[in-house]
Amino acid sequence: MQRRFQQVDVFGTTPQSGNPLAVVVDGGGLSTEEMQRFANWTNLSETTFLLPPTSPSADYHVRIFTTTWELPFAGHPTLGSCQVWLDHGGVPKVDGVVVQECGVGLVQIRRGDDRLAFAAPDRIRSGPVDEEMRVRVERALGPDIVDVSWADNGPGWIAALLPSADHVLALEPDFGGTLDLKLGVVGPAGPDDPHDVDVRAFFPGPKSMEEDPVTGSLNASLAQWLMERDPNLRSYTARQGTALGRNGLVYLDRDDGGTIWVGGRVATAIIGTVEL
């Protein structure tokens, strides 16, 4: 069956500079196994499938797959899927706000002039790590750590603050013996930089250490942590992907109600149909 398909670039500042996402617009009728097989074939970090909502409050339902398993939530698939839903004629029930249904429940997405932003989900684990975990993080990243904390909104992120963006970009982590760590690293940019912080996301595996180009979920929990550390911090921009030759930019804003919005641009790279 021919199904509408779109591949988008999320958080990029120029073409092919963000995190790619494959979106199957007509996901109805596919089994979990068929979705997983297609996601494995695309070989992208995530592939999503749009479905009719099951909640009366939602505008659409999305299922999110890596090459090997299904995710309850992820940041760049949320923004990319929303943009594709809009591109294919989706009209939200409430003007200006799209409500996505996914594995974690309902996620609000706000529409701006040139970008989308999702409301950061609650963390399931936060606060300082214990001494044993801090030693493991220092062993992986080195001694130049200002602070380290749990920042887990699902994937298991631990956040580490380094003295500067230069420290972040110079990292060559050593994950020997600590393959279960998922580390998000952030450092303040220089006064002449057009962005505020640099971010890197590491999730080592048994065969090689992997780094994600631009990570919405991590930036969401990093913003929650950084804004707790500095209550006067209301908004900032995060650059991510530099070490991988990308140029992603994430916009973080806290509204008057305390909700943190994670935003970025979404650009279409490929549009057509797939046999699926």
Question: What are the residue numbers of the active site?
Answer: 46
> Which H or E element spans position 85?
helix 75-87
Q: How distant, in Å, are the alpha carbons of 62, 115, 264 from that of 59? A: 10, 18, 20
CA distances from 171 to 106, 136, 191, 258 (A): 36, 16, 21, 33
What are the tokens at 87? 């591109």
Going from the C-alpha of 150 to that of each of 129, 141, 161, 221, 269, the distances in angstroms are: 6, 16, 12, 9, 35
Distance between CA atoms of 6 and 23, rounded to whole angstroms?
5
**3-state DSSP call for residue 162?**
coil
Angle at 120 between CA 118 and CA 122, to 5 degrees: 150
Both structure tokens of 34 = 């068929």
* Pairing state between β 105-111 and 70-71: unpaired
